[in-house]
Amino acid sequence: MALDLNDPDLELSDLVYAYQSWVLAVLNDEKLNPEGEKLASEEIAEDAMNALRFLPAEVTSTVESTLARAYDVDAEELAELLFPES
């Protein structure tokens, strides 16, 4: 189910969930199961990029740093995994 940015019931928690889901999927794909089925689908990535447009940097930074610690990844490595073209 794609994130509907025009939904009047859309809440901040929905945006955080979309972004967090993508970060988790990327970490899982790259760190836990690099040879398995990929979780980071186009839809998850698209929802995350849409959410990223509206989330404050403090929120995305908190999501990233919390999950990076849980997966034992430093901030630079996580940034490279999430945004390899940057």
Task: Determine which of 2-6, 59-63, 65-69, 70-74 has the lowest per-residue pLDDT on average.
Answer: 2-6
Gap between the Cα atoms of 77 and 74, Å rounded: 5
Please tell me the total count of domains within the chain.
1
24-63 exposure pattern, b = at least 16 Cβ within 10 A, e = fewer: bbbbbbbeeeeeeeebbeeebbebbebbbeebeeebbeeb
- Structural domain including 45 reads 12-82
Q: Is residue 5 part of a domain?
A: no
Q: Within a domain: residue 42?
A: yes
Encode pLDDT of 1-60 as tens digits.
578 888 889 999 999 999 999 999 999 999 888 898 999 999 999 999 999 999 999 999
Is the Cβ–Cβ distance between 23 and 67 less than 8 Å? yes
Asked if residue 65 is part of any domain, the answer here is: yes
Specify the pLDDT at position 1: 58
Residue 69: pLDDT over 90: yes
